[in-house]
Amino acid sequence: MPPDARRRVMIFAVILFILGFLVISSLFPSKTVKSVNYSNLLTMAKENKVISASINNNTGVLTGQLGDGTNYTTNGPVPVLSDEVTTLRTDNVSVTFANPSSLAATLLPYLIWILIFGGFMIFLSRQAKGQMNGMMSVGRSKAKQFNQDRPKTTFADVAGYLGVKQEISEVVDFLKSPARYTAMGALIPKGILLVGPPGTGKTMLARAVAGEAGVPFFSVSGSDFMEMFVGVGASRVRDLFSIARKQAPAIVFIDEIDSIGRKRGAGLGGGHDEREQTLNQMLNEMDGFEPTEGVVVIAATNRPDVLDSALLRPGRFDRQIVVPLPDLDERLPILEVHSKGKPLDTTVSLEMVARGTPGMSGADLANLVNESALHAVRRHSETISMEDFETARDRVMMGQQRDSLVLHDDERERIAYHESGHALLAYVLDKTDPLHKITIIPRGMALGVTMTLPEEDRYIMSRQHLEDSLCMRMGGRVAELLVYLDLSTGAADDLQRNTELARRMVREWGMSKEIGPMAWGSNNQVFLGEDLMHTRDYSDHTSQIIDDEVERILREQESRAIEVLTLHRRGLEALTRSLLEHETIDGETAAQLIDEAHGEPVHPVGTKTVSALGLRQGKSDNADPVSTNGNSAPAPAPVGAAAPTWQPPTLPAV
């Protein structure tokens, strides 16, 4: 409890104690006082029944003690008659006189009550003042100010991202020594926007700026500006920039700026809502009528598409720095940073781990290292081995293994055929990613997983790659159709993802002869105020053509999958038997089984399989796990399809 609050509680307790003592003492007098008549008192004195009498000269009140020990009180004449006093003394009564009390003594009881009441009122007023101060300070900025001593994070602690650090370090250098830049007539950027997927280290880069800058650094989250009171957000923006100007040069870091910087005019409410007022004030502070000198704003977001255009223009956010997912050269130093201080086995090669973790962000890699350490503890091992990294990667990319889920034999067999269909097509088709692992052990939300890993960095997808990938996803459904002449719900997720991406091929990527080189992509969200009432910009006739083209693409790839799996039916059976026996097989084992069943190698040795962490070089894109029960495993890869002319699928004679 704070000292002020503790002191207030103690004062309140003392006041309550005094009040309680006075009330209780007044309710329970210590002795009984008997009221008697004055003449009766004189008679009792003659009968020697009075021991003492105390006479108040001002009021004439007599008090004393009777012979039986009872206290008495009576009203006598004023002034007291001397003859009666003499009579009392003659009757052996001890007579005393009470001098008139002073005004202070008379008022003292009242002063005590006044002081007690006044103290209680002061206590209440202080409480109310504290609450009022809290209400009045609601418009103050909640930004945390950092000095040169903290945080300790520097650019040396941020692995990789040399280009990003160089651009940010220019701002830091400008604030430290502006003379070199002003001599060339260069102006410092007013705002820097860090853009990238979640987990890529945008906030960590900002902490590194705080550690490197050597100037006042204010850190605040976008949600800290918002409050239930109208105008509070704008007030906090004004207060933040006012404090920053007084300490300029300074850096202001706003994390998750999309919470207040979204496009105005959403159409779902008035134009004077709290968020828009906050955004308007920020626009004015960054580059309004009164320029903000010496204050640099660094903001981070993973949704740059929702930001207001006025916020992104030069003069406010002059630079947009992309913080992408790390590539191979950046994943290795990131792993080294997170592995520092951990007991790694001598056989561990972080370079191999980096090659086998394409598409992972910095946060994913940190989680991977931590999961590896946890798995080593579960094995009661003193060091972290490559086995731990492999198991941790499978858990991160495919989900936690569900040992408690018990499948019936017929379900296991169907899942094995389903995954074998995916794996066989992944190995046989030319443009699919190399096969890594197949398992029928339930992981995450999937009952089985077929995982492929890409060979190299891929920034665009060719049509042939999309076709082969979509055909591979059809493999599970087609395998069940060939073997059981029936279908199950296991292909729900495959069909959903294929339908979505086939539609993108037609609507957005121009991969349909019927539609031609036209694109209708509607990725805008309702809260942006775009496409709220109008969801498409093409006719019903075009919509029907799009639906027909999507259906054609999917059916063509289904027919293609039937053709390939029929040709390699023996390989399908071999894979299924191996899965039922071992539950998990790697890519090389699957390739050997398919080649042996085919009678000759389908591909040159080692070109279509990846069986262990980092055994192939140059892998860097997202892994493509294929699920079996309507729920996708992590890190999906785009797929699609096309083929010559679709014909209804015909099953081979059984």
Which residues are identified as catalytic?
A: 419
Phi, psi of 640 (to 5 degrees): -170, -165
3-state helix, strand, coil in the chain (%, to 5): 50, 10, 40
pLDDT digits (tens, 9 = 90+) for 432-482: 888 888 888 888 778 888 888 776 667 788 889 998 999 999 999 999 999
pLDDT digits (tens, 9 = 90+) for 362-421: 888 888 899 889 989 988 888 898 888 888 887 877 777 776 777 788 888 999 999 999
How does residue 570 score in pLDDT terms, banded at 50, 70 and 90? very high
Higher pLDDT, 261 or 149: 261
Q: What's the pLDDT score for residue 531?
A: 42
HSE (CB half, 13 Å, CA atoms) of 317? 24
Question: Sign of torsion, CA 605 611 613 618?
Answer: positive
Q: What is the DSSP annotation of 333-369?
A: HHHHHHHTTS-B-TT--HHHHHHT-TT--HHHHHHHH
Higher pLDDT, 23 or 258: 258
Q: What's the pLDDT score for residue 419?
A: 92
Query: Range with the lowest mean pLDDT among 27-41, 53-67, 94-108?
Result: 94-108
Over residues 181-200, the mean pLDDT reads 80
Q: What's the pLDDT score for residue 228?
A: 52
Query: Range with the lowest mean pLDDT among 210-224, 308-322, 584-598, 606-620?
Result: 606-620
Task: Please give the span between the terminal C-alpha atoms of the chain, in angstroms, as a whole number.
Answer: 82
Sheet holding 584-586, edge to edge: 449-452, 435-439, 584-586
Q: Which of 130-139, 172-181, 305-314, 452-461 has the highest mean pLDDT?
A: 305-314
Q: What's the pLDDT score for residue 480?
A: 92
Mutual angle of helices 540-567 and 569-582, in 10-degree steps:
80
Is the per-residue pLDDT at 616 higher than 50?
A: no
Q: What's the pLDDT score for residue 286?
A: 76
Report cis status (omega within 30 of 0) of the bond before 634.
no
How does residue 557 score in pLDDT terms, banded at 50, 70 and 90? very high
How does residue 136 score in pLDDT terms, banded at 50, 70 and 90? very low
> What are 162's two structure tokens?
């040399």
Query: Range with the lowest mean pLDDT among 180-189, 371-380, 615-624?
Result: 615-624
Element (H, E) at 545: helix 540-567
Domains in the chain with CATH codes: 3-104 (3.30.720.210), 144-322 (3.40.50.300), 332-398 (1.10.8.60), 409-598 (1.20.58.760)
Tell me the residue type at 568: H
Q: What's the pLDDT score for residue 270?
A: 45
Over residues 503-509, the mean pLDDT reads 90
Q: What's the pLDDT score for residue 473?
A: 92
What does the mean pLDDT of the chain come to? 75
Phi, psi of 344 (to 5 degrees): -85, 140
> What are 462's two structure tokens?
């060719």
> What are 382's two structure tokens?
């003193």
How does residue 281 score in pLDDT terms, banded at 50, 70 and 90? confident
Cα 127 to chain centroid, rounded: 35
> In this structure, are residues 463 and 598 in contact, taking their beta carbons and an 8 Å threshold?
no
Element (H, E) at 222: none
Over residues 246-264, the mean pLDDT reads 79
Q: What is the DSSP annotation of 124-191?
A: HHHHHHHHHHHHHGGGS--PEEE-TTS----GGGS-S-HHHHHHHHHHHHHHH-THHHHTTT----SE
Higher pLDDT, 647 or 222: 222
How does residue 1 score in pLDDT terms, banded at 50, 70 and 90? low
